[in-house]
Amino acid sequence: MSTKASRSAARLMLAPAVILLLGWMLVPLTLTLIFSFQRYLPLRGGFQGWVGFENYVRFVTSSAFWPSVQATVIIVGGVLLITVTLGILLAILLDQPMWGQGMVRILVIAPFFVMPTVSGLVWKNMFMDPNNGLLSHLWRSFGADPIIWLSDASMLSIILIVSWQWLPFATLILLTAIQSLDSEQLEAAEMDGAPVLSRFWHIILPHLSRAITIVILIQTIFLLAIFAEIFVTTQGSFGTRTLTYLIFQRVLESQNVGLGSAGGIYAVILANIFALFLMRIVGKNLDR
Amino acid sequence: MARSVTIQRKSLNTLIAWIIGLLLFFPILWTILTSFKTEAQAIADPPVWFFFDWTLENYRVVQERSNYSRFLWNSIIIAGGSTILGMIIAIPAAWSMAFVPSNRTKDILLWMLSTKMLPAVGVLYPIYLIFIQLGLLDTRIGLTIVLMLINLPIMVWMLYTYFKEIPGEILEAARMDGAGLKEEILYVLTPMAIPGIASTVLLNIILAWNEAFWTLNLTAARAAPLTAFIASYSSPEGLFYAKLSAASTMAIAPILILGWFSQKQLVRGLTFGAVK
Amino acid sequence: MGQIVLEKVTKSFGDVTVIPPLDLTIEDGEFAVFVGPSGCGKSTLLRLIAGLEDVSSGEIRIDGKESASIPPAKRGLAMVFQSYALYPHMTVRKNIAFPLRMAGLDKAEQDRRVEQAAAVLNLTDYLERRPGQLSGGQRQRVAIGRAIVREPAAFLFDEPLSNLDAALRVGMRLEISELHNRLKTTMIYVTHDQVEAMTMADKIVVLRAGHIEQVGSPLELYKAPRNLFVAGFIGSPKMNLIEGAEAAKHNAKTIGIRPEHISISATEGRWSGVVGVSEHLGSDTFFHVQETGLGETLTVRADGEVNFRHGDRIFLTPRDDVMHRFDDKGLRIA
């Protein structure tokens, strides 16, 4: 496509981005890897010798580990289930002819732009507070006892808050994908006598499958790392301590860097498993 | 092909869609309404909706007591700075990959994407340590650099997909017309790339503004942006809903407005061009 | 002045050789058309001449000046691209003026030349519009305008009409030919459409897989194709190619006979067959004749008045004096 002169210029222009990202990835990751083999307690004497894989073993055998894995899986799974299911329905609805379509879309998308600390606190105080929250008012108006959301239904609460934030993302992407569906295809199916439901199953859903996969993978990567929502609501108590939050506590709160770093390496590996699938899909897309 | 639908059908669609839309928007609407109430009205049961004594008192109090403007300023500097810095690095990189692709271009793009997948918590301590060593902890410049780095892959990708859409023949035409590399970039590429660059800037400001891991963990009093300012409301004393609402409204309003402009670009940016 | 000479030019992308050593001379003022199926290397060849690709080896001389190492802008050539490649953010005026601006001409001279080109191309009313507001044909003219104003040594056209609909294509074909007659500047025109090649060219260069199959005037190629490939490629409808016993009678592996060189009769003739599909064009009628016993469906041109129905048995007689004969390597037997 091009001549030699432009090639060398191109390499020069690419270099800063590559070098910076390489440094950003390699330096901290190497340090984490090194720390993970050390007994390293900054507040209690700092470096106290190499311990091999002891941190890795201790991290997975600690009583907090499995509950944190469970919490992570429930939160990620719950949010995915809610956002993808509702996202498909909402995308189909928003694709229908209606008055004020643009305005509705803006309303639906808005939660995505709310910063995580704001949505965490607004939900925690103004909606889920057992005394003054709007939901407790609602419960009382029906004569029921208000739910103490963030302690009695802590997981459900977190899933609700996070789903509210991510539903717009799923909807927006699925809507974009639906709009790219050739309407002649649907009309052909209609001519062939396919009823509404089977048109959904055999044409719309397969057409969306790639977009759904992308939504699931990208959300999984972001959801595995959710932090602020838990930080400002339960602080990891009442069974909401996810893997990310557990590592955060080990590193910054109890300052057990070795142990936390081993956890960090687990988190990196976990994220990379999902990243691999995502990159395969995105990579295929590049070839087209 | 647009199809004609019955008025009844369209009305039903409209009704359902508006109910769901308003339901999803309600927490934001409620926050905005509450910010204009007194603290007593804010927790009233039954709730008061529109007919209350609208007041700006909360905004005044939040401004005065918590030095809101400093947090706002930090947010602006960090989000704006990381975006500008990132664009300076991302534009040439995306340009070169889009217009002078080599066999390794695809690998480099995917590798860049993979750095975005790195869980922040996995590198939290090393970054923390490096920041202490370099005296960057709780500084705006430190946070600016980190946010630039975490969003750099998205910037490069998004610009790349936009640049890819500029037909190569146009650049060749410019070359035939006697434009050197400088003129090519100045007169042809830049004007054509501006819409894409603008969308990328917009999305990046949104992402940086709302980032709430590094901003919470690497700042204290001096460099804390609005995310941290709001987090400080998590353990309140006394009646504070109206003030929380006022602070929240101020923190999200600018980004809500920017976000509405960038809906379409958002899809492309967040899916790395896989969905357009 | 615009003689273009290619000497032993080759181009490879990695291990793939796209152009094997190739020699070609295009005389000053000539309208040369590179024609061939897609992937034959015709566009690559044009881009080598333009300087948009580096040659792997060999020499390109423009007006006697070795140019292979000169950047595209300095070769004094102008190119019209398939997609027109107009700058979408500039008005028509600025698009046409762009090469002049790059050359550092003063504003008055730029305006003068733009107005002049616009007048020639009927674009005067559209100068302040953007490309997005123009029709396909108008965009094409803007692209040509941008090429004209530079007063280049030669024009390069890369399949310029392939994005236009059929009616416009005929019109633009005439306009480009007219332009060539007026400017008398060398033009090199790449197309996969042999009709464009036949109607416009002074010299046709037929390419296949980077090789030049034949160079000559349209009529030379039509009357004396050097090999089977050229014989099959040039002419519409295609030449009938017959192998086997009938060819052996003429001491050839393959014989070729154009549709207009076969006469058709209801009663007598050398070959017989059954009428299949007939295409009535008004002035002419083309019959596709089956079951001739020659192994092929034959295409025969007849007068527009002649009327046979599907399934009619008819008789055909070829004209031996204009029959083409090819040997077992596919080369023409003189």
The fraction of chain B above a pLDDT of 70, given in percent, is 92
> Within 10 A of A206 (CB to CB), how many other CB atoms are there?
9
Shared domain check, B24 and B72: no
Contact assignment for A265 to B122 by CB distance below 8 Å = yes
| Cα separation, B266 vs C239, whole angstroms | 57
| Cα separation, B97 vs A9, whole angstroms | 11
Domain ranges of chain C: 4-232, 237-326
- Return the pLDDT at B3: 55
The fraction of chain A above a pLDDT of 90, given in percent, is 15
Assigned token pair, A256: 């057990």
| Cα separation, C220 vs C90, whole angstroms | 45
CATH of residue B125's domain is 1.10.3720.10
* Closest chain A C-alpha to B60 CA, distance in angstroms: 19
Contact assignment for A275 to B46 by CB distance below 8 Å = no
* Closest chain A C-alpha to C61 CA, distance in angstroms: 19
Mean pLDDT of B199-225: 86
pLDDT under 70: residue ranges of chain A? 1-5, 285-288
Q: Which residue did the predictor score with more confidence, B241 or C155?
A: C155
Place of tokens 């959301």: A149
Amino acid at site C170: V
Place of tokens 């990708």: B157
Shared domain check, B191 and B142: yes
Sequence-ordered alpha helix ranges (H) in chain A: 4-35, 54-61, 65-95, 101-109, 116-121, 134-141, 149-152, 154-179, 183-191, 196-199, 205-224, 228-231, 243-248, 257-287
Assigned token pair, B75: 């947010």
| Cα separation, C240 vs A125, whole angstroms | 86
Q: Which residue did the predictor score with more confidence, A146 or B35?
A: B35
Shared domain check, B262 and B158: yes
Considering only B202-216, C23-37, C174-188, which range has the smallest mean pLDDT? B202-216
Give the mean pLDDT of chain C: 90
| Cα separation, C31 vs C180, whole angstroms | 7
- Return the pLDDT at A83: 95
Domain with B254 in it: 67-270
> Within 10 A of A62 (CB to CB), how many other CB atoms are there?
15
Interface test with B, best of A24, A135, A243 (most B CBs within 10 A): A24
Shared domain check, B49 and B74: no
Give the mean pLDDT of chain B: 84
The strand pairing partners of C32, in sequence order, are C188, C203
| Cα separation, A212 vs A206, whole angstroms | 10
Domain A65-240 has CATH 1.10.3720.10: yes
- Return the pLDDT at A1: 43
Residues of chain C in contact with residue B104, where contact means CB-CB under 8 angstroms, are none
Q: What is the DSSP string of B150-173?
A: HHHHHHHHHHHHHHHHS-HHHHHH
Interface confidence, given as ipTM, is: 0.84
Residues of chain C in contact with residue B178, where contact means CB-CB under 8 angstroms, are 73-74, 99, 102-103
Structural domains in chain B (count)? 2
Query: What is the number of CB-based contacts under 8 A between chain B and chain C?
Result: 59
CA A154 to chain centre: 18
Assigned token pair, A175: 């809507």
Residue range C4-232, CATH number: 3.40.50.300
Shared domain check, B47 and B117: no
| Cα separation, A170 vs A190, whole angstroms | 27
The strand pairing partners of C4, in sequence order, are C26, C62
Shared domain check, B99 and B176: yes
Report yes or no on B31 lying in a domain. Answer: yes
Shared domain check, B139 and B257: yes
Report yes or no on B112 lying in a domain. Answer: yes
Q: Find out whether A79 and A166 touch, Cβ atoms under 8 Å.
A: yes
Closest CA to B271 of A267, A286, A207: A286
- Return the pLDDT at C69: 83
Shared domain check, B100 and B77: yes
Most confident of B152-161, C26-35, C154-163: C26-35
Shared domain check, B95 and B38: no
Q: For residues C288-314, b (16+ Cβ closer than 10 Å) or e, as one string? A: bbeebebeeebbbbbeeebebeeeeeb
Q: Find out whether A115 and B29 touch, Cβ atoms under 8 Å.
A: no
Residue of B169, B175, B183 lying closest to C83 (CB–CB): B169
Angle of CA points C171, C175, C178, to nearest 5°: 140
Shared domain check, B184 and B74: yes
| Cα separation, A53 vs A60, whole angstroms | 11
- Fold of the domain built from segment(s) C237-326: OB fold (Dihydrolipoamide Acetyltransferase, E2P) (2.40.50)
